[in-house]
Amino acid sequence: MKLFFLEPQRTQRAQRKEERESGDSHDLIRIAICNCAYALLATTHNIFIQLLSKQLISEKNKMSQNTNYSSVTPAQATKLEGDDKRNYIRNLFDDIATRYDFLRTLVFLGHTSLWYRQALRDLELQPGEKILDVGCGTGESTRCLNRFYPGIQIEGMDLSPGMLTVARSMDADSNYFEGDVCSIPRPDCTYDVVVTAFTFRNFPNREMSLAQMLRVLRPGGRLLILDHFYPEKPVLWRNIYTIWMSKIVPQIVRPFIADTTPYRYLAQSIINQLKMPDFIQLIESSGAKVIKTNTYTGGAAGRLIAVR
Ligand SMILES: C[S@@+](CC[C@H](N)C(=O)[O-])C[C@H]1O[C@@H](n2cnc3c(N)ncnc32)[C@H](O)[C@@H]1O
């Protein structure tokens, strides 16, 4: 009898104990699963990081094999011509392509957007007009023109596959192709306007570049050249700009690139840039008529518009 009354109590206690134990074991299983998942995630993460760093190291090695910066100084590089200049420039832009836009904003303190606006906003391009952006790089100038003039048919050409890869990754819809300004792979009279921004100092041959850009323009079409110039006056501004470009810029880009040669070359190429009157003479001796020139930011940038 006693046992009969005690039995349910014992059974309930035993049942609670069993439930507690089974609850504990469920918690243990949950903790074990969490630990396994965490370990799996951590391992995958580590493998990913290792693969990524191996990939980065091998890309860096490939780049340094590719780059032949050591054989010439940046000042000498600005005087190179033909294939030597072409190879130097292609390697230089391939090397910096992924950091190009960021570093340019840093080096020119964001002024390039202002220069695009000043140089490209008043062209009055009409929908359907055909434009070629020579040396389109990462596509900043091409995108700017597309934004300012919806409906134009624009193509971007560049020598550097690395720069073109970045351009294509930013706007898959645009037409980018690889090509050299000295032999533009397009028939005569294809375009209404040819634009080339911050490129001319880098071309392998000035006369051939101009002849080719004018060849692909239709008669009456416009050639627009926007580029960095070396400010002349006042002398204080020229001196500040020289110190900024040749002494400070290589230091501020240093944390972001292993080799600062591209930015020392940039400074030298600006110092050796043609003066505006010489530029006009060069274009006119190629058979085009310069109809407009402007300088921006105290002569640090400038544009020329010529008609074929
Ligand atoms: C300073 S970036 C300017 C890119 C772009 N126009 C912009 O405003 O951002 C100069 C570009 O000119 C290209 N370039 C240099 N020499 C060239 C050549 N011979 N033919 C075609 N492109 C060239 C380089 O590869 C580089 O992408």
For ligand 1, atom 20, name the residue with the nearest CA: 180
Q: How many angstroms is it from 58 CA to the middle of ligand 1?
A: 26
In this prediction, residue 171 carries a pLDDT of 87
Q: Are strands 191-197 and 130-134 parallel, antiparallel or unpaired?
A: parallel
Q: How many angstroms is it from 143 CA to the middle of ligand 1?
A: 15
Q: Is domain 74-307 in CATH 3.40.50.2000, yes or no? A: no
Is the pLDDT confidence value at 236 over 80? yes
Residue 172: pLDDT band by 50, 70, 90 thresholds?
confident
For ligand 1, atom 27, name the residue with the nearest CA: 137
Arithmetic mean of pLDDT over the chain: 85
* pTM recorded for the entire structure: 0.79
Mean pLDDT on 177-194: 98
Percent of the chain with pLDDT over 90: 70
Q: How many angstroms is it from 235 CA to the middle of ligand 1?
A: 30
- C-beta of residue 248 within 8 angstroms of C-beta of residue 241: no
In this prediction, residue 238 carries a pLDDT of 95
Q: Taking each helix axis from N to C terminus, what angle separates 206-215 and 276-285, rounded to the nearest 10 degrees?
A: 60
Which residue, among 307, 306, 303, has the nearest Cα to 141 in the 3D structure?
303
Choose the residue to mutate in 88, 159, 224, 270 for probing ligand 1, maximizing ligand atoms within 8 Å of C-beta. Answer: 159
Q: How many angstroms separate the CA atoms of 164 and 93, rounded?
A: 10
Name beta bridge partners: 155: 132, 175
In this prediction, residue 127 carries a pLDDT of 97
Q: How many angstroms is it from 208 CA to the middle of ligand 1?
A: 16
Q: How many angstroms is it from 93 CA to the middle of ligand 1?
A: 8
Q: How many angstroms is it from 211 CA to the middle of ligand 1?
A: 17
Site residues for ligand 1, CB cut-off 6 Å: 86, 89, 93, 135-137, 140-141, 158-160, 163, 180-181, 197-199, 202-204
In this prediction, residue 71 carries a pLDDT of 78
Q: Are strands 289-296 and 301-307 parallel, antiparallel or unpaired?
A: antiparallel
Atom of ligand 1 nearest to the CA of 112: 8
With a CB cutoff of 8 Å and minimum separation 6, the contacts of 15 are none
Q: How many angstroms is it from 180 CA to the middle of ligand 1?
A: 9
In this prediction, residue 79 carries a pLDDT of 86
**pLDDT tens string 1-58:** 344 444 445 556 666 666 555 555 566 666 556 555 555 554 444 444 344 434 443 4
Phi-psi region of 50 (alpha: psi -120 to 50; beta: other; left: phi over 0): alpha
Is the pLDDT confidence value at 280 over 90? yes
Mean pLDDT on 156-178: 94
Nearest-10 Cα torsion for 32, 38, 40, 46: -150
With a CB cutoff of 8 Å and minimum separation 6, the contacts of 229 are 270, 273, 275, 276, 295, 299, 300, 301, 302
With a CB cutoff of 8 Å and minimum separation 6, the contacts of 37 are none
Atom of ligand 1 nearest to the CA of 140: 9
Atom of ligand 1 nearest to the CA of 86: 19
**pLDDT tens string 54-74:** 444 344 444 444 456 667 899
Mean pLDDT on 272-291: 97
